[in-house]
Amino acid sequence: MGNFMRLVQNENMKIYRRIRTWVMFGVILLMVLFFSILFRLGGGSSTISSWDAISQLSFLYYLATIFAAVVAADIVAGEFTWGTIKLLLIRPWTRTKVLASKLLALILFTLLITVVFFLASSLISFAMYPENTTSLMYSDDVSPLAYMLEDILYRYIDLLVIALFSFMISAVFRSSGIAIGLSMFILFTGGIFTMLFNPVRYPWAKYTLFVNMDLSQYRGGQEGVAGMTLGFSITVLLSYVLLFLLVSWLVFKKRDVAA
């Protein structure tokens, strides 16, 4: 019945008509600008290539990951806290379709914030380092653009997994606070976890989310620790993502709405 894209349009309206969302974009732009200036001043008279400058800023993509987790945390839980879920679910759309529209709007948001981040860091870097200096990071035989795009892809996958995890927690606990908290926990403890439970010593650790999230470890055909491969990590990540979506769907579909 009706046109599914109108549901997505509604979800978009609920994301982009909130001031919070524009604050997120504003913070990203400001931080990118701030760190570029900081690096420029810190670098003194020596100048680096614009590609190196972009890569220097890429750590700020964590902000985009945090913001994506926040939006994901609210997209289902918010309706319960606001009580609007009661009006949303009494329309001629099954719960599955309502949830799917939220998922799609979330994915669109993660793409948008990623594009905004990389456009901002590229534009600012090119503006600050217009001199055509040779890159210190990239050898002549790799195209910096291709390298950067590959890097974006790895980082985006990481962001998406965190956002979908947050989405699931949001649907299960109907609390955006818990969803944001747990996603941040995963985001920031991933590195420590991988150090503590190295798959070489603990074979089971190979199957955890943490050690598979960073696909850049396989860059250029490298083999990962304990014989892990790109294909293996992709399979593990996909399994987790499907599990997150399945749990979100089952809970959302079955739950009695008494908010």
Partner 1 sequence: MDLEPVVRMKGVSKRIGSKTIIDNLTLDIPPGQVYGFLGPNGAGKTTTIRMMVGLMAITAGDIEIQGASITKQFETAISHVGAIVENPEMYKFLSGYQNLLHYARMSPGVSKQRIAEVIELVGLQQRIHDKVKTYSLGMRQRLGVAQAILHRPKLLVLDEPTNGLDPQGIRELRSYLRQLAEEEGTTIFVSSHLLSEMELMCDTVAVIQQGRLIDVRSLHDQDAVANEQKKTMFEVSDPERARELIGQGQIMDSHLLLDIDRDTAAAINERLVLSGISVYRIAVVTRTLEDQFIELTGGGQIG
Helix, strand, coil percentages for the chain (3-state, nearest 5): 80, 0, 20
Q: Is 193 helix (H, G, I), strand (E, B) or coil?
A: helix
Minimum gap (Å) between residue 106 Cβ and partner 1: 17
Residue 10 interacting with partner 1 (CB under 8 A): yes
Minimum gap (Å) between residue 3 Cβ and partner 1: 8
CA dist 65 and 166 (Å) reads: 11
Residue 87 interacting with partner 1 (CB under 8 A): yes
Minimum gap (Å) between residue 4 Cβ and partner 1: 11
Residue 83 interacting with partner 1 (CB under 8 A): yes
Residue 92 interacting with partner 1 (CB under 8 A): yes
**Residue whose pair of structure tokens reads 């809970």 in the numeric block:** 251
Residue 2 interacting with partner 1 (CB under 8 A): yes
User: 255 CB contacts (<8 Å, ≥6 apart)?
Assistant: none
CA dist 7 and 12 (Å) reads: 9
Which amino acid is residue 6, in one-letter code?
R
- What part of residues 14-53 is at the interface with partner 1 (CB under 8 A)? 14, 17-19
Q: Which of 93, 109, 118, 244 binds partner 1 (CB under 8 A)?
A: 93
CA dist 5 and 102 (Å) reads: 11
Give the interface with partner 1 as residue ranges (CB under 8 A).
1-2, 6-7, 9-10, 13-14, 17-19, 82-84, 86-87, 89-94, 254, 256-258
